[in-house]
Amino acid sequence: MPIQSPIDTLVCHFDNALKTLVPGAAHAHRLSPASQAEDQAMTEQETTHAAGLMRINHTGEVCAQALYQGQSLTARLPEVREAMEEAAEEEIDHLVWCEDRLRELDSRPSLLNPLFYGLSYSVGAVAGALGDKWSLGFVAATEDQVCQHLEKHLETLPEGDRRSREILKLMHEDELRHATTALDAGGVPFPQPVKRFMTALSKVMTRTTYRI
C-alpha cells in the first residue's frame, strides 16, 4: 500500500468530512436492519420523540467519524492507523442508517453537526498524538459511552418504532465490538473521573441535538 503524503491525507480527510456532513453523500456497505421490521402506528408525539432520539444517534455517528479520522491522522503505528480507518468505515453504515431513518420519520439531521465534527476531529487528533495506547483507550471509553446511550434509547423508543429499534440493536453490537477490539489491541482503560467528564460532555450533545 503506497504511503500517502500529508497533503493527500488531508484531502482524504476533507473528503470524508463532506461525505459525513452532506446528507445523502455517504453510502452504507450493509443493508439497513430496518428492512427487517415494519412500524406500528405511532402518535405525532411518539414520532417526534423517535426522531429526536435518532437525531442524537446520527450526531453520535458524525462525532465517531471525526474522532476516528482525527486519531488516524496522528496515530504512530500503521496498524493502529489502519484499524481507526476501518472502524470509521464501519461507522458509515450507522450514519447512513440513522440518516435514512430520520428521513422516514419526516425529520432531519442536527444543524449542529459541523460544530460537533470539528470539535471531535480535534479531540481525536490530540488523543492520537498522546500515543496509540491512549488513543485506543479513548476509542474504548467513547464506545462505552455510545453503548450506554443506545441502551437508554432502546428503553425509551416508542413501542411502535420497530425500524429504529432494529437499527439501534445492531449499532449496539458493533459499538461493543469496537470497544473490546480497542482494549485487546493495547488500549489503556480510562479512569472513572475521566469517564464521568466524558459523560457530562455527551449530555451537552444529546440535549442540544434532540431538538436542534
Residue set of the binding site for Fe cation: 61, 91, 94, 143, 175, 178
CA atoms of 208 and 124, how far apart (whole Å): 21
Binding site members: 61, 91, 94, 143, 175, 178
Q: What separation in angstroms does the CA of 161 have from each of 38, 51, 60, 78, 114?
A: 8, 10, 20, 42, 28
CB atoms within 10 A of CB 104: 16
CA atoms of 110 and 113, how far apart (whole Å): 6
- All three cell numbers of 116, joined, read 460537533
> Dihedral of CA 35/179/83/56: which sign?
positive
Are the C-beta atoms of 33 and 167 separated by less than 8 Å?
A: yes
